[in-house]
A and B are shown apart, each in its own frame.
Chain A
Amino acid sequence: MVPVAYYLVLSAILFGLGVLGFLVKRNLITLFMSIELMLNAVNLAFVAFAWQWKSLNGQVFVFFVMVVAAAEAAVGLAIIIAVFRTRETLNVDKVNLLKL
């Protein structure tokens, strides 16, 4: 018997790792992967809650999250390609035209 809390804790840890990755990593693509990691953690939480309440809505939510993640990945990676094409680097610290 696995308490739902365990799953939630796991998702919390994964989410935290995702945030950390986003903060620490410098490679654009890795940042994206961190985002995906966070999304997965959220999915895990959704499924866990769906299980807890014995309701499928949570799983449907996960489905939608996946769809959005896919769209986001497609566009985001396209952006990354564009950025790379123009700036010849994937280092976010070097992509800082917004700096004043």
Chain B
Amino acid sequence: MLQLVLFFVFGIIAVGAAVNLLAQRHPINSALSLIVVMASLATLFLLMGAEFLAAIQVIVYAGAIMVLFVFVIMLLNAGVEDRTPGSRVAMLLGIPAVVLLAGSVAWTLVARNPYPVGVNLTGGFVGSPSAIAELLFRDFLLPFEVTSILILIAIMGAVVLASPAGTTAGTGSPEQPPAKAEE
């Protein structure tokens, strides 16, 4: 019961924030609403026992990636976006299509989910850091290392891309911190 309430509360918050993300015409508002979405998703993760992921969701997404977004928005001082006919066409076509699609998927899932498994907070299943770590460093060791390499490449790419032409990227290239923050 309590979980249901919590689910609906945060689910509605998430959806509303997502809608707000689209509705807002200023990127920074969109960014903030996206942060809200992420935070509420983190609580939903907690509801499903993925506490480590919840924390990581906050730290990485909200704390690092979105900071990066906000930072770039501030840096470029991106103004209010202007309307173009193309976007109007996209709206006319896209909104119904997406609504239809999501609706059908939702309907299929609700109506025909063969596993109506209940989710309750007191279920013994908890994604504790140690459990995740065991999987991560034993079964998924290779992918983990590969992703670390990916991160490294991403850092270098970001530095090269963002550094003004000619100058070698010095320290304090703002792209670095979030990319690092994963490890």
Binding site for B on A (CB under 8 A): 1-10, 12-21, 23-27, 29-30, 32-34, 36-37, 40, 43-44, 47-48, 50-52, 54, 56-57, 59-60, 62-64, 66-75, 77-82, 84-85, 90-91, 93
Count of interface residues, chain B, beta-carbon cutoff 8 Å: 94
**Is B15 within 8 A of A2, CB to CB?**
no
Extra contacts besides A4-B117, A29-B73 (16): CB < 8 Å: A1-B119, A3-B117, A14-B18, A15-B102, A16-B102, A16-B105, A19-B101, A23-B94, A27-B78, A51-B49, A59-B50, A68-B150, A70-B60, A75-B154, A77-B162, A77-B175
| Closest CB pairs A-B (n = 9) | A16-B102, A71-B154, A1-B118, A78-B161, A23-B94, A78-B158, A78-B162, A9-B106, A74-B179
Contact B81 A12 (CB under 8 A): no
**Chain B's nearest CB lies how many Å from the CB of A81?**
5
B48 and A81: CB pair below 8 A?
no
Q: How many A-B residue pairs have CB under 8 A?
A: 264
Does B64 contact A1, Cβ atoms closer than 8 Å? no
Tell me whether B95 and A93 are in contact (CB under 8 A): no
List the A side residues contacting B98 at CB < 8 Å. Answer: 16-17, 19-20, 23
A contact residues around B154 at 8 Å (CB): 70-72, 74-75
Interface of chain B, helix or strand or loop or mixed? helix
Q: What's the dominant secondary structure at chain A's contact region? A: helix
In the complex, are the beta carbons of B81 and A71 less than 8 A apart? no
Chain B residues with CB under 8 A of A32:
69
Residues of A within 8 A of B164 (CB): 85
Task: Say how far A4's CB is from chain B's closest CB, in angstroms.
Answer: 5
The reply to whether A73 and B94 form a contact with Cβ atoms under 8 Å apart is no
Contact of A70 among B84, B90, B115, B179 (CB under 8 A): B179
Interface flags, B16-36, vs A, CB<8A=1, else 0: 001101100001001100100
